[in-house]
Amino acid sequence: MKNIVINAMATLGDCLYMGAIPRAEYMESAKGKVKTDNIAGYIYKVASMNQGCEISVFVEGGLKNLSFGQKVEIGDKDGNAILNIMGTATNNFVNLKYSIKAEDIRIAGTVAKSNDKKLVAI
């Protein structure tokens, strides 16, 4: 199955920064995956205006200097980010949870690395 490329602006709309939490790095050991003290990156929480929900965005590297409620853009230098959508069904209702793995998150309107308005849904 090929990946589906969607228009990020039409799908997500404006995104507002709500906070960030560190994501630990894991390594393989005889006991399975073990959490280390190293930080692999940060999971940024953003509010999507079009979806009306919170979206988790994982970005490797250090913490970005963003302010609560600030408009942000999500993107990669290649023009792609990986979008995962998970649905949880309860009776006749489904809750969707979005997560994105991107190379960069930045203040909206700042210079982008390249064309970054595409998300790849897998």
For residue 18, the model assigns a pLDDT of 95
**Do strands 32-48 and 82-90 pair parallel, antiparallel, or not at all (unpaired)?**
unpaired
The SS3 of residue 12 is helix
For residue 21, the model assigns a pLDDT of 93
In DSSP terms, 34 is beta-bridged to: 27
For residue 111, the model assigns a pLDDT of 64
Whole-angstrom distance, CA of residue 19 vs CA of residue 107:
13
Residue 28 carries which side chain, given as an amino acid letter?
Answer: E
Phi first, then psi: what are they for 42, rounded to 5°?
-130, 145
pLDDT by position in tens, the chain (length 122): 466 666 777 788 899 999 999 998 888 888 888 888 888 899 999 999 988 889 999 998 889 999 999 999 887 666 567 888 888 999 899 988 888 888 888 888 776 554 445 555 54
For residue 19, the model assigns a pLDDT of 94
For residue 122, the model assigns a pLDDT of 44
Domains located in the chain, CATH noted = 4-121 (2.40.50.390)
118 to each of 11, 19, 65, 69, 94, how far by Cα in Å?
Answer: 10, 23, 24, 23, 25
For residue 1, the model assigns a pLDDT of 47
Contact 42, 85 (CB under 8 A): no
For residue 113, the model assigns a pLDDT of 52
